[in-house]
Amino acid sequence: MGLEKGWVTQITGLSRSAQLTALGNGVVPQQAAMAVELLTPGIPLCGNHRIP
């Protein structure tokens, strides 16, 4: 699950700081999963977690 491209970033007049505040922690799990995949190549993720 994630937000569509531009969901927050295409709002006219919204500063970078306001964009990050609007997103909150909603993208943290996806970023963490991607970081694990990038930092541990060749080690598969468990079946419960997938990178979109």
Residue 2 has pLDDT above 80, yes or no: no
Q: Which domain holds residue 18?
A: 1-44+48-52
Interatomic CA distance for residues 29 and 35, integer angstroms: 10
Output the pLDDT for position 47.
66
Question: How many domains does the chain fold into?
Answer: 1
Residue 18 pLDDT grade (very low, low, confident, very high; cuts 50, 70, 90) = confident
Dihedral sign, Cα of residue 41, residue 4, residue 46, residue 35: positive
Output the pLDDT for position 26.
66
**Is pTM, for the whole model, over 0.75?**
no
Q: What is the DSSP string of 6-39?
A: TTTTTSTT--HHHHHHHHTTTTHHHHHHHHHHHH
Output the pLDDT for position 41.
78
Residue 49 pLDDT grade (very low, low, confident, very high; cuts 50, 70, 90) = low
